[in-house]
């Protein structure tokens, strides 16, 4: 056990620590010193090398902090070049959640061993468990001990990695070091859990996610590490919080960046089509299958596949996805041949508590553990208010670049204040929709928007629908005006031979208004309408008319809510 002088030094460093990272640094240094002493007094003193340590703070299984200290270095970090702190597998974490006792992974033997202080005869005991280990080259043993308080859930773990081939198949020095190492972690636990996290350098953060506030900046170092992993990443968070944006950012910073980034939003895929959407089908496999069609897994070959709303996956499709993740093989519908998922990295998204879904029998427990390997919880926008101004400007400038060739787009200070005061239950998706509308209102007020666009507070209020001076008629007129402005912009792009399509969310009533204006202006020529509003693929897939009726139905509900009669010329497209 550490001598009194070293313990006093550790306590002093922990008391002086201003951040989780500083406390983790102090703990890992003391654990290295303790391990050095134990190794030095053992038969392995001439052949064992300490590689590094890591403090993983992950209450509820979600990473809140990660600090890595390479042996011999002074400062711990979570972004060390070439570091792979996940040599401690998900199986080890799952073991800690159930047993809450230290364990050792013998990498060469492929064995996970539980460590206990003593059995009733005074001898230490070991229980073999089946491990899943992704180890760094040269590492032979990994010691893992939990971070927890009495009567509280598991809060994290500390891992130490060493290299000693001679000790393969043995307990190495861990039984002798167990008590002292555990004691050090118990001393440091309150500091690790309670101290704030150091915010990463803004430049380094900004090249990963365009707009990052204090809360998200704490996650970026871990996201950088995640991006280089092959294991499945689970992103949880409320609808519209930016899960797909984050998945795309992780792909851009991954070894798969040169490959495709494919997305599947299961909310929009009926149960009976999910298997085909994921794995593809052969001609003749079902009515309407007139040609061989690859699935999203095949399209994502050598890239990343982001599957959102995973909780909407049918139990049949869950079984197919589980088999794919376990074997890397799948079959197209109607095909007897097996195909290999060539180097596809999976990122999964959900806004549902999957634990609850498992308890209710709606989600397979074995699939849950397969996808819950690396996990990050994305906070709602209401908990990231310092990002609202930045995202609003980013969204407005992006919209301006898409529709105009010159000039700048700015959001006024008063408009920014109004946006910041909103609650944003729809998160970034809602903010994006509001900025689309605000930009449309601003360009409608400006005769020559190519000279620049300034989004004023009145445009934001109009977009939010909170302008109390406007009655029902004004709201409809303003919405139609905004819809017409966006429609005319999209029509000009199509006529110039540019790529058309309005990137509006289908649950936004403005999108339905644009569709309505397009039907009127183009005399319901559905082929041209589909090109203008970006639904050409939907028309080819024979989903266009169903989508149109749904969107115009939403527009009719909007009219009804304001006591306005829905136009007769549009009613024929709703029925």
- Kindly state the average pLDDT of the residues 414-443: 91
pLDDT for res 260: 95
- Each residue of 248-273: pLDDT tens digit? 999 999 999 999 999 998 887 888 88
- Kindly state the average pLDDT of the residues 232-247: 92
Rounded Cα distance between 384 and 216, Å, is 8
pLDDT for res 270: 84
Q: Can you tell me which residue has the tokens 């061993």?
A: 113
Rounded Cα distance between 165 and 173, Å, is 13
Whether residue 1 is predicted with pLDDT greater than 90 in this model: the reply is no
Q: What is the pTM of this model?
A: 0.67
Q: What HEC string does 115-162 produce? A: ECCCCCCCCCCEEEECCCCCCCCCCCEEEEEEECCCCCCCCEEEEEEE
> Which residues contact residue 475 at a Cβ distance below 8 angstroms, ignoring those fewer than 6 apart?
465, 562
> Which residues contact residue 288 at a Cβ distance below 8 angstroms, ignoring those fewer than 6 apart?
none
Q: How far apart are the first and last CA of the chain?
A: 79
CA-based nearest residue to 171, from 221, 112, 223: 112
- Each residue of 483-520: pLDDT tens digit? 777 677 777 767 766 655 565 555 567 888 888 888 88
- Each residue of 295-337: pLDDT tens digit? 999 999 999 999 999 999 999 999 999 999 989 888 888 888 8
pLDDT for res 444: 82
CA angle 265, 266, 272 (to 5 degrees): 140
Rounded Cα distance between 493 and 534, Å, is 12
Domains of the chain (ranges; CATH) run 4-194 (3.30.450.40), 229-379 (3.40.50.300), 383-571 (no CATH)
Residue 380, number of CB atoms within 10 A of its CB:
18
Highest mean pLDDT among 72-76, 135-139, 311-315: 311-315
Spell 456-471 as b/e; 16+ CB within 10 A means b. Answer: bbbbbbbbeeeeeeee
Q: How many CA atoms lie within 13 A of 494 on its CB side?
A: 21
- Each residue of 388-422: pLDDT tens digit? 999 999 999 988 888 765 788 899 999 999 999 88
E strand segments, 341-402: 345-350, 374-377
For residue 338, with 0-12 CB atoms within 10 Å meaning exposed, 13-18 middle and 19 or more buried, which class applies?
exposed
Q: Can you tell me which residue has the tokens 């787009």?
A: 409
Sign, CA torsion 201/204/210/215: negative
pLDDT for res 130: 44
CA-based nearest residue to 251, from 266, 233, 237: 233
Rounded Cα distance between 286 and 276, Å, is 10
CA-based nearest residue to 321, from 367, 375, 273, 265: 367
Rounded Cα distance between 135 and 121, Å, is 34
């Amino acid at each position: 056990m550490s001598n009194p002088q070293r313990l006093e030094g550790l306590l002093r460093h922990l008391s002086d620590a201003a951040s989780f990272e500083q406390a983790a640094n102090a703990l890992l240094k003391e654990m290295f010193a303790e391990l050095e002493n134990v190794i030095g007094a053992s038969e392995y003193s001439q052949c064992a090398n300490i590689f590094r340590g890591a403090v993983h703070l992950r209450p509820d299984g979600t990473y809140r902090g990660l600090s890595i200290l390479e042996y011999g270095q002074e400062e711990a970090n979570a972004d060390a070049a070439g570091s792979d702190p996940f040599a401690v597998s998900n199986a080890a974490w799952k073991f800690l959640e159930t047993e809450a006792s230290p364990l050792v992974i013998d990498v060469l033997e492929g064995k996970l061993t539980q460590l206990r202080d003593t059995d009733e005869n005074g001898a230490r005991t070991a229980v073999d468990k089946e491990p899943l280990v992704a180890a760094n080259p040269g590492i032979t043993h990994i010691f893992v001990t939990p971070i927890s308080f009495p009567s509280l859930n598991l809060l994290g773990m500390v891992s130490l990695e060493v290299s000693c081939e001679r000790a393969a198949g043995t307990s190495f020095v861990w039984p002798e070091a167990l008590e002292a190492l555990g004691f050090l972690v118990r001393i440091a636990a309150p500091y690790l859990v309670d101290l704030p996290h150091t915010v990463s350098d803004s430049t380094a953060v900004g090249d990963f996610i365009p707009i990052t506030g204090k809360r998200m900046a704490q996650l970026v170092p871990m996201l950088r590490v995640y991006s280089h992993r092959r294991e499945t990443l689970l992103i949880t968070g409320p609808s519209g919080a930016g899960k797909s944006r984050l998945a795309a950012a992780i792909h851009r910073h991954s070894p798969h960046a040169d490959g495709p980034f494919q997305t599947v939003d299961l909310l929009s895929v009926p149960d009976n089509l999910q298997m085909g959407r994921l794995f593809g089908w052969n001609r003749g496999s079902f009515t309407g299958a007139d040609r061989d069609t690859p699935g999203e897994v095949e399209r994502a070959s050598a890239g990343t596949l982001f599957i959102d709303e995973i909780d909407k996956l049918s139990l049949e499709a869950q079984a197919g996805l589980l088999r794919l993740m376990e074997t890397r093989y799948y079959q197209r519908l109607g095909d007897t041949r097996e195909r290999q998922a060539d180097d596809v990295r999976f990122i999964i998204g959900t806004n549902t508590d999957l634990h609850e879904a498992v308890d209710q029998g709606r989600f397979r427990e074995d699939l849950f553990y397969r996808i819950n390997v690396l996990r990050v919880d994305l906070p709602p926008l209401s908990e990231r208010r310092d990002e609202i101004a930045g995202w609003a400007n980013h969204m407005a400038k992006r919209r301006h670049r898409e529709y105009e060739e010159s000039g700048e787009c700015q959001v006024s200070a008063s408009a920014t204040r109004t946006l910041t005061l909103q609650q944003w239950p729809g998160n970034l998706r809602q903010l994006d929709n509001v900025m689309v509308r605000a930009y449309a209102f601003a360009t409608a007020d400006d005769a020559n928007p190519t000279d620049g666009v300034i989004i004023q507070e009145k445009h934001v209020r109009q977009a939010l629908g909170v302008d109390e001076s406007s009655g029902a008629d004004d709201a409809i007129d303003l919405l139609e005006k905004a819809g017409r402005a966006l429609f005319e912009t999209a029509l000009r792009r199509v006529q110039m031979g540019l790529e058309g399509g309005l990137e509006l969310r289908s649950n936004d009533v403005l999108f339905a208004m644009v569709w309505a204006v397009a039907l009127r202006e183009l005399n319901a020529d559905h082929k041209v309408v589909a090109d203008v509003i970006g639904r050409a693929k939907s028309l080819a897939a024979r989903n266009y008319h169903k989508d149109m009726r749904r969107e115009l139905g939403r527009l009719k509900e909007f009219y009804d809510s304001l006591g306005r009669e829905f136009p007769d010329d549009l009613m024929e497209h709703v029925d």
